[in-house]
Amino acid sequence: MDTWMRLMANDGSIVFGRVENGYLHEYEGLDQPVPTGAVLSLRTLTLLAPCAPGKVIALWNNFHALAAKLEKPVPSHPLFLIKPAESVIGSDVPILRPAHYEGKIVFEGELGIVIGKRCRNASEEEAEAAIFGYTIVNDVTAAGLITENPHFPQWCRAKGFDTFCCIGPAIVSGFDWRRARVVTRLEGVERQNYPLDDMVFSPREQVRLISQDLTLEPGDVIACGTSLGVGSIGAGATVEVSIDGIGVLVNTLAGERAGTQAGVAAESAF
């Protein structure tokens, strides 16, 4: 397995590369990355989201356990929405509450697929080859907006605000997702702990089927959907999403804590 990060240098330039023993070996491109020869100490760099996706495709109802709890049928094709590039932030960057929204904000810990090759109508082999690696996603949602208008469910608006797509801290290529679990902690208390092999559509199937609907470009991210344990975030609360072998994604909802209760563990019904 190789670990890849995207970071900012002191002069404001952005570098991407393979991380080894505290140093970043700079590369260019995701499709057959080419080394530049530059080697930089991680101590001189600032962590960014590990890629800059043109779009994030976020799946819904992609885990058998959650489908059973919600009494929803397993879909025959991935159900997804698009989160805009402007919603993406990296680890240790605050989640910002929209100024006009006072309702519940929800965390969803997920595996993320990072696309490395442009693909459209991909075969199974092409879909597998298009996966550069895997990362961690916190798919943040302003849950109260989804059904605010009874005539039009507002999934994209509810999930598309600036800072509502936390990605990081790294991309890992050669990662065996089948043996991994997603663990989400709210204020240090475990709220999610689910196996990735419970997915309805495997990463390869997601890439293949979604590529039938739209072109996937290098750097795009597919958020694989979440499972049991989704809950709301109180002002000032910190969410940590971890996957062994990838790392820990940490983000805090900006704002002052309400009394002593920083996080609320209420299960989301969506």
Q: Could you tell me the CATH number of the domain that includes residue 247?
A: 3.90.850.10
Is 108 among the domain residues? yes
Between the CA of residue 15 and those of 45, 49, 51, 88, what are the distances in Å? 9, 11, 11, 17
At 192, list the tokens: 């999610």
Q: Range of 41's domain?
A: 1-48
Q: Residues 34, 116: one domain?
A: no
Spatial separation of the C-alpha atoms in residues 140 and 125, rounded to whole Å: 32
Domain count, the chain: 2
Q: Residues 21, 72: one domain?
A: no
Spatial separation of the C-alpha atoms in residues 254 and 268, rounded to whole Å: 21
Q: Residues 76, 111: one domain?
A: yes
Q: Residues 115, 22: one domain?
A: no
Is 270 among the domain residues? no
Q: Residues 229, 142: one domain?
A: yes
pLDDT digits 0-9 by tens, 37-90: 999 999 999 999 999 999 999 999 999 999 999 999 999 999 999 999 999 999
Residue 257, pLDDT score: 59
pLDDT digits 0-9 by tens, 203-258: 999 999 999 999 999 999 999 999 999 999 999 999 999 999 999 999 999 986 54
Residue 97, pLDDT score: 96
Nearest Cα to Cα of residue 233 among 189, 173, 203: 189
Q: Residues 16, 92: one domain?
A: no
Residue 256, pLDDT score: 67
Q: Could you tell me the CATH number of the domain that includes residue 20?
A: 2.30.30.370
Is 269 among the domain residues? no
Q: Residues 196, 154: one domain?
A: yes
Q: Are 115 and 220 in contact (CB under 8 A)?
A: yes
Q: Residues 76, 163: one domain?
A: yes
Q: Where do the DSSP E strands lie in 30-180?
A: 34-41, 46-47, 55-60, 79-84, 88-89, 105-107, 109-115, 131-139, 141-142, 165-173
Q: Residues 71, 25: one domain?
A: no
Rounded to two decimals, the pTM is: 0.93
Strand partners, 173: 2
Query: How does strand 79-84 pair with strand 109-115?
Result: unpaired
Is 68 among the domain residues? yes
Is 117 among the domain residues? yes
